[in-house]
Amino acid sequence: MDENAIRAAIFIQKWYRRHQARREMQRRCNWQIFQNLEYASEQDQAELYKFFNDLIKHMPQAAGRKNQNQGSTHVSILDEKDELVEEFGDIVNAKIELPIRKNHIDLLIDVFRKKRGNRLHPKYVALILREAAKSLKQLPNISPVSTAVSQQVTVCGDLHGKLDDLLVVLHKNGLPSSSNPYVFNGDFVDRGKRGLEVLLLLLSLYLAFPQAVFLNRGNHEDSVMNARYGFIREVESKYPRNHKRLLAFIDEVYRWLPLGSVLNSRVLIVHGGFSDSTSLDLIKSIDRGKYVSILRPPLTDGEPLDKTEWQQIFDIMWSDPQATMGCVPNTLRGAGVWFGPDVTENFLQKHRLSYVIRSHECKPNGHEFMHDNKVITIFSASNYYAIGSNKGAYIRLNNQLMPHFVQYISAASQTKRLSFKQRMGIVESSALKELAVRMRDHRDELEDEFRKCDPKDSGCISITNWCVVMEKVTKLGLPWRLLRDKLAPGTDSQKVSYYRTLDLLDTDVILEAEADGTSVMDALYANKASLVAIFNIIDADNSGEITLDEFETAIDLLVAHMPGAYSKAAMLEKCRMMDLNGDGKVDLNEFLEAFRLSDLHRKEQQDENIRRRSTGRPSLAKTGSDAVALLADKISKNTLVVEHDIDPTDCEAKVIDPKKS
């Protein structure tokens, strides 16, 4: 071969390898942004559980009395007469009646897959929820599943409101039947826009085929999580006149969902995992009905609160496997544990199991083996973070419990029309948009820290300082040097114009995304039950009012949770301000009103800060502002979602050989 040809081939080969390496680095960077943001957000919610746990630890007598009060007053709404009113708008003329049969399933699929005219009458929504809760209530905590008749079973992971993925699974794999049973492993709602339809369809499948559909509870089958991640807002928007009643029915469904399943007494199927203290015998004996929310103290009907039992449920809902040995707290999520291969081996031997199937984590290919193939993760929501971000999958297990994976991606035609560069651009824009929204939570703190590094007020700091500030403030553990060009566009290789980072956070596309989301404070205030529970625990003498002494005990715990955030004296002064009528005590109405006023003030302050910045900041060079505007425009276009009727045949699916996985 000619020497020049060899040199050219080597040159092309080196270029291609560098190109592939850059693409892989970009993919991993985007994936890390998505996952770290997801875990950081869940960590915020888990802090609520930790706060409750510490309150109960230091105020056990008050917690017991309040739980007794909650338990005695909690009345199931399942047998009450419906108090529903007519909804306005496009309610579909479709009738659902008991018993639910296959023709009703076909009707629901036909209605739900349409982008418009897809709302059932609220009385039929209530009918499905009520009947499902009544039936689920009769099931054991761990459902026994068998392949004796069917010779096979299908297991699906997280769906997260992705109705298109559920319809793809049913289209490719068939409706449930005695010969085609399913296990759906939790996280049916939140994040996706069609969570209510997913939940109603799954419950209808269960009612129509009760011996062939098994539903496990996930960590998102929880009203506290729903307040933060979108499902409550979804129900409110679809049924604005009946949402409170329907959400109460949904809570009843959650509290009676089984906690897991066991296949042929050999394979455990739970949403998250387990810890080195998990006992299936204990889990089987728990009264799961008292856990309306896993993040709030359970209803105990006067019995002492068993925190060991509470922790058992938390561990199977929230835990993740790790490659290293041991069992340690899951600091990324802020709840559950990381369990290693030694913990898995001991757990399987103790309970005479072959392996475990779990979900809870998005995987690029929809599934993953860990711990010598003894822990299988299955995730069924494709395009979870953005179009083309990941594939979904489900498992089919035969009578010998050999797993076979079917990997798929929904809305395949949308992906096919895009080049690889366009797909990567969409994923990258979605990642940057989520990151920028998260950064807005720390917008003022970022600006303060940037200015400390810029005593001459030049608007520029070193790359090292910029990276240090970004990590110090956000604590997200991201590769900030790689992200510098994206978050501070148009800057040179030596300095970073931090104004451009701040300007990006103030663009319309990021502000609109922030408005569409839900902060921790929004979620806490929206979920009044959490505030009521906190009030009840602080009210140690069960008087219906909180004294300053009772506040002081709780403040000691807050100081432990938020060291340095506020002084004890400052927090006591805030508690005195809650006493709106000046009688020296705070009742429940004053407590809730204080949160409402505080939240209102917070939002007004945010608006005022935006106005102040727009007039008080030095003007940027035109090239800098143009670079920010171009990036914002790119993010806006790439993350624009256009809804279509769902076509379950519009998918790409293939069977994966487990030996090659």
**CA distance linking residue 391 with residue 303, whole number of Å:** 46
Measured distance CA(112)–CA(163) in Å, rounded: 8
From the candidates 104, 121, 220, 360, which is the catalytic residue? 220
Q: Which two tokens stand for residue 580?
A: 């709106």
Q: How far apart are CA 642 and CA 381, in angstroms?
A: 18
* Burial call 620-634: b when 16+ CB within 10 Å, e when fewer: beeebeebbeebbeb
At 118, give phi and psi (nearest 5°).
-115, 15
121 is catalytic: no
Peptide bond into 99 cis (omega under 30): yes
Q: What are the helix (H) ranges across 393-507?
A: 412-416, 420-440, 443-452, 463-474, 480-487, 498-505
> CB within 8 A of 235, min separation 6: which ones?
196, 243, 246, 247, 250
230 vs 223: CA distance, rounded Å: 10
Taken in order 325, 328, 333, 339, is the CA torsion positive or negative? Answer: positive
- Joined tokens for residue 176: 């449930």
Sign of CA dihedral 421, 423, 427, 429: positive
Rounded distance between C-alpha atoms, residue 290 and residue 261, angstroms: 20
Q: Are 379 and 359 in contact (CB under 8 A)?
A: yes
Q: Are strands 460-462 and 142-145 parallel, antiparallel or unpaired?
A: unpaired
Angle formed by the axes of helices 588-616 and 568-578, to 10°?
Answer: 110
Distance CA 426, CA 420 (A): 10
Neighbours of 492 (CB within 10 A): 9
Which residue numbers are catalytic? 220
